[in-house]
Structure 1
Amino acid sequence: MKATSLTFLLLSCALLSFSISAQEKTKYINANGYTLNDSGELLRFRQFVVLDDKIVSIDERSEHSKNIDIVDLKGKTVLPGLIDAHGHILGLGANLLEVDLRNTKSEQEAVQRVLAFVSKYKASNNTAPKWVIGRGWNQVLWPSKSFPSKASLDKFFPDVPVYLSRIDGHAAWVNSKALTLANITKSTISPSGGEIIIDATGEPTGVLIDNAEYLVTSLIPKPDKATIEAQFLAAMNHLISLGITSAHDAGINKTIRDFYIDKAESEQIPMRIYAMLAATDPQLLQMLKDGHYEDSNNTLSIRSVKAYGDGALGSRGAALLKPYSDDPDNSGLLVTAEEKLPSLFNTIIGANFQLNFHAIGDRANRLALQQFARTFENFPENKSRHRIEHAQVIAVEDIPLFEEFGIIPSMQPTHATSDMNMAEDRIGKARLKGAYAWQTFLNQGTPIAFGSDFPVELANPFHGLHAAITRQNDQKQPKDGWIANERVSRQAALKGFTLDAAYAAFQENMLGSLEVGKKADFIVIDKDYFEIEASEIRDIQVLATYVNGNLVYAID
């Protein structure tokens, strides 16, 4: 077998714990190494030495000892381990194990994928699934550009409930069986912050937006421990194979928090997780009272909360200051009502936690910025490094407020290249001036924490680096990049996926660069990131991933 994934050996058995120490000194030679220093300057190096889990020297040629292992990197490019500042780890794991509807070209093709999944499931388990769960459809890519209907699912699945999440997670497509179980009829009123889409006769179509999804998701059986374990292992293997050595998990409930802590205490987390508690969890107050958590091996950190402002642009749930250009009666949805923001912000920030607020539309972003400013007056001791997750569409006059209030925009470059085919339709050309505005933020001195929002987008960080640098999709379109003035340099893009992401997690003194005293998290890749054509960055392959000085993934 040509390719060997060492992560499988580490993770496939729960009895195997993850060793956090390399245990001896190792010298890596003949490296084509790049790193940023803490000032953001680009440095190059040819060799470095790791002792236990830290970098102890770089380019010091006097390192000679009988007790040192030598690893010849044969001129391959070395980068710091990449950090994804916004993803959903168990959501990714579930996505890898459920129906994948990404890149379907029509409603009919999506249904065929569901049929194929169920057929395979029956063959493996000798029974039909109790629920059919999937994710990834995007009606914008279909010829009709219209939301799907329950009818196409009912034809094949009259008796088993089907729940298919849109690619952004802010809309769901369900069949009549699921609607019946949830008691959703033409007389059902849409919940606050959500919408039950209806047809001309008032009948539910089978599409639920934002908070309306919970009417069905509350009925789906909670994953048991074995399922959570399978999702975790699938996600860990996948992320490490992509060169991701740390991921910020954007919204976990108490069950998952406890699962992560158990994993950390038993040394079974093979990379780093910066976990955000979900503000919607009923046990949030108790978790805040429990305080921050950091394991002794620095693999798990819990000191932040993810809160939810609005929906997504693709499903017209992002909260806008003015109506949608292609839906003049709709200004989007606030998932958390405006009047609840003061209590929410005061509770989280007052508990000395970082608040990471999901805001996509310009109204949601403005409300968040205004509330941050008010809450900081109440808690001046905790007003640094709070974040707005996504920060996609912002009124131009509000962008300087990020720098004024010290708010970090946590942004996902591939969202821009995925959304460019519909963003102008949704908000018009004028509002695009404050949309996906990476270079504008950097010009004013605001650091950006880059990520992918996996599984909404693919987790591959080189897709994100490519999108940040070129503003192009995988087809190299548009030719000069979409809103090209917001492209960033290769150095800035790398900083967003390393040092600035580490900064957004209070970890820049430990992670984000290859410097003496920092953790030995690094990757070896098959192409020179700084020398190849920008169009090739997307296709870079990871040859090896190291965490804490340990080789956790390699391709022979």
Structure 2
Amino acid sequence: MKSILYSLFLALLFTSCAKKEAVDVIVYNARVYTVNSKFDTVEAFAVKNGKILALGRSDEIKDQYAAKEEINAKGKAIYPGFIDAHAHFYGYGQSLQTADLRETKSWDEVLTRLTDFARTHPDGWLIGNGWDQNDWDNKAFPTNEKLTALFPDRPVFLNRIDGHAAIANQKALDEAGIKSEQKLAGGDMLTQNGKLTGVLIDNAVALVERKIPSPDAKLAEKIFMDAQQNCFAAGLTTIDDCGLSYLTVEFIEKLQQSKKLKIRLYVMLSDEPDNYTYLFNRGPIKTDRLNVRAFKVYADGALGSRGACLLHPYHDMPDKTGFLLSDQKHFEEVAAKIAANHFQMCTHAIGDSANRVILNIYNKILKGKNDQRWRIEHAQVVNAKDFNLFGNASVIPSVQPTHATSDMYWAKQRLGGERLKNAYAYKQLLKQNGWIPLGTDFPVENINPLLTFYAATVRADAKGFPKGGFQVENALTPEEALRGMTIWAAKANFEEHEKGSLEKGKLADFVMLDHDILKSMPQNILKTKILKTYLNGEKVYEAK
């Protein structure tokens, strides 16, 4: 009798299992933010062939599907993989190979760090990144006498945090053939008592930078691999890399084809003749991990180095208004040919003058509402009369919330109180089209997307300053911020039908956090840790 009952039990068990569809992964016992149109939450989902197959209650999913891997989330929050809508992935990887000068408190500290770095990197150009004179007691730009004295026979090139200024020692200036001040459009070489200080602004930076040798294939691969590792650890699954050459894109393709580079990249080619020729002839590049259909154009520089182009003089330097990096005719011609070839134009614009120039060109080309999704990158200072130019031509403001909380210490000095009211105005910009993509601009800012979420919603820095927030009328809600880091960022890349939310048929890119940032108290958001990151249903990161 027992044998018959046991056989019957096995038959029922096998029958039950046979009815279940085989899948690759089941996630259950979770709080899953789908970020769909209704912002629904579910408990579980099943993944097959790298895509979401079904979502629902834990018991429903486990009853219908049998998986090779089951993940018991134990009540943890799960979100779509974070998308950084504006960053410099390759540049970030490069910065990991150079002297880290971020958060230095003086020029002397910069020199100390550089000297320490040079001991373990004795050959070739000495490169550093991340200094910001606004963080120092003496907020004036440094001069290069000490730099030249420390390294008289080795070229040294140190990028400012925003990448729109740098300081070079005399050996580096000599390598570039710069003997005295040169007048150039869209750039400046600072002098003191008629002598070059080594500080280069915007277009002047390239005069020295182009002399730095390109990395060989081995180092280039390490640059990408190091950047990928850190992005996955931050919960990032797609990065918009703003401004690469077509040769770098071809190297990315090789790394992805070899399965070494797994992260998804949305690449904007830089504003160079060879890049236009290449992509116009080849056409858009689209795989599940690489999308190249846009061009990155620079209208002006940065506010911190006073290269941002303003309608009226800087509040703290009345003889300067900044400058456009090219004449207006160039931007008009570039916009016309990008439109004629059906690509996306993404333009860096910081100052209110630069934003006005580019917005007027966009409106002329786009002629009203459209779905071309041309973007203004940063949209940092906008004149009150110009906000409507975003909505009128469906122009997408692509913003980086941590810029507001980094710049707030000195932005009023640059702009004055009245003009500051229309700076970092993310809520005003959101209203123009009803959606807004968010990024970090790393390595200019920290890679961590949770800082983006915090800065967007709390409008404070990591120390909780200022109490009550900075211009909180422009804070985003937690739902808006999460959408900006996921589905709206995907939409800015024409990818909202394949990623950015956890819905049936979409890519199984997701991240598990140890706390629910949508329900956390503000002070706890930055204590949240990334537990696991999945790409295509494959685990690419797990916290130790």
Aligned with 1:171 (options 148, 161, 165)? 165
SS in 2 for 1:62: helix
Find the counterpart in structure 2 of residue 133 from structure 1. 127
Work out which of the residue numbers 301, 304, 327 in structure 1 matches 2:294.
304
1:450 is paired with a residue of what secondary structure? Answer: coil
> In 2, distance between residues paired with 1:231 and 1:465?
27
Q: Which residue of 1 aligns with 2:42?
A: 45
SS of 1:282 mapped into structure 2: helix
Deviation at 1:443, TM superposition (A): 3.2
Aligned to 1:34: 33
Deviations 1:140-173 (A, max 9, x none): 0101101011112112111101000000000001
Specify the code of the residue in structure 2 equivalent to 1:393. V
Q: Which has the higher contact order (CA 8 A, sep 6+)?
A: 1
2:18 counterpart residue number: none
Match of residue 8 from structure 2? none
One-letter code aligned to 2:48: L
* Aligned: 1:524 with 2:516: no
Partner of 1:484: 472
Match of 2:136 among 137, 142, 145: 142
Q: 1:323 aligns with which of 282, 304, 313?
A: 313
Residue in 2 that maps onto 1:86: 86
Question: Is the Cα–Cα contact under 8 Å of residues 390 and 432 in structure 2 kept in the other structure?
Answer: no
Aligned to 1:374: 364
User: CA separation in 1, counterparts of 2:323 and 2:218?
Assistant: 36
Greater alpha carbon shift after TM alignment, 261-270 vs 529-538: 261-270
Does the C-alpha gap of structure 1 residues 136 and 321 become closer, same or farther in structure 2, counting only changes over 3 Å?
same
Residue in structure 2 matched with residue 340 of structure 1 by the alignment: 330
Range with bigger deviation, 405-414 or 253-262: 253-262
Deviation at 1:412, TM superposition (A): 0.3
The SS at the match of 1:528 is: coil
Whether the 8 Å CA contact 2:189–2:200 is kept in 1: the answer is: yes
Q: Which residue of 1 aligns with 2:238?
A: 246
Q: Which residue of 1 aligns with 2:12?
A: none
Tell me how far apart the structure 1 counterparts of residues 434 and 205 of structure 2 sit (CA, whole Å).
35
Specify the code of the residue in structure 2 equivalent to 1:265.
Answer: Q
What displacement does 1:383 show?
A: 5.6
Rounded to whole Å, the distance in 1 between the matches of 2:263 and 2:506 is 15
Q: Is the 8 A contact 1:403 1:446 kept in 2?
A: no
Displacement, 1:97? 1.4
Deviation at 1:541, TM superposition (A): 1.0
Distance 1:384 1:170 in 2: 28
Structure 1 residue 444, shift from structure 2 partner: 3.8
Provide the C-alpha distance between the structure 2 equivalents of 1:232 and 1:205, rounded to a whole number of angstroms. Answer: 34
| Matched positions, count | 520
Return the offset for 1:467: 0.4
Distance change >3 Å, CA 228–CA 360, structure 1 → 2? same
Query: Helix, strand or coil for the counterpart of 1:136?
Result: strand
Q: Which runs of structure 2 are paired with 1:129-208 in the superposition (5 Å)? A: 129-186=123-180, 188-199=181-192, 201-208=193-200
Name the amino acid aligned to 2:175. L
Q: Distance in 2 between matches of 1:69 and 1:246?
A: 24
User: Using the alignment, how far apart are the partners of 1:231 and 1:272 within structure 2?
Assistant: 16
Report if the CA contact (8 A) 1:184-1:204 is conserved: no
Q: Which residue of 1 aligns with 2:118?
A: 118
Query: What SS does structure 1 have at the residue aligned with 2:465?
Result: coil
Give a deviation string over 1:491-535, Cα, whole Å, max 9, x none: 111111011100000001111111111111000111111221112
**What is the RMSD of the two structures over their aligned residues, measured on CA atoms?**
1.6
Measure the CA separation in 2 of the matches of 1:222 and 1:485.
45
Distance in 1 between residues matched to 2:345 and 2:203, nearest whole Å: 21
Q: What is the CA-CA distance between 1:471 and the residue it aligns to? A: 0.8
Unaligned runs of 5+ in 1: 1-22, 122-127
Normalising to structure 2: TM-score of the pair?
0.93
Q: Distance in 1 between matches of 2:365 and 2:304?
A: 31
Deviation at 1:218, TM superposition (A): 1.4
**Where does 1:515-554 land on structure 2 (aligned, <5 Å)?**
515-554=503-542
Is contact 1:250-1:306 (8 Å) kept? yes
Q: Kindly provide the CA deviation profile for residues 61-89 of structure 1, in whole angstroms up to 9, marking residues without a partner as x.
A: 33435555422111111111000001111
- Report the equivalent of 1:468: 456
Q: Give the CA deviation at 1:448.
A: 1.2
The correspondence of residues 249-328 of structure 1 with structure 2, limited to 5 A, is 249-280=241-272, 282-295=274-287, 298-328=288-318
- Partner of residue 19, structure 1: none
Aligned equivalents of 2:451, 2:153: Cα separation in 1: 40
Q: Which residue number in structure 1 is paired with residue 436 of structure 2?
A: 448
> Quick one: distance in 1 between partners of 2:273 and 2:256?
22
Residue identity (%):
39
51, 59, 62: which one aligns with 2:60: 62
Runs (4+) of structure 1 exceeding 6 A deviation are none
Q: How does 1:229-240 map to 2 (within 5 A)?
A: 229-240=221-232
Report the Cα offset of residue 281 of structure 1.
5.3
Of residues 404, 411, 415, the one that matches 1:416 is: 404
Determine if the alignment matches structure 1 residue 509 to structure 2 residue 500.
no
Deviates more, 1:279-288 or 1:387-396: 279-288
SS of structure 2 residue aligned to 1:336: coil
Which amino acid in 1 is paired with 2:41?
R
* Distance in structure 1 (CA, Å) of the matches to 2:445 and 2:205: 20
Q: Deviation of residue 382 (structure 1)?
A: 7.5
Sort the Cα spacing of 1:189 and 1:69 in 2 relative to 1 into closer, same or farther, 3 A. Answer: closer
Instruction: Name the CA distance, whole Å, in 2 between partners of 1:66 and 1:485.
Output: 49
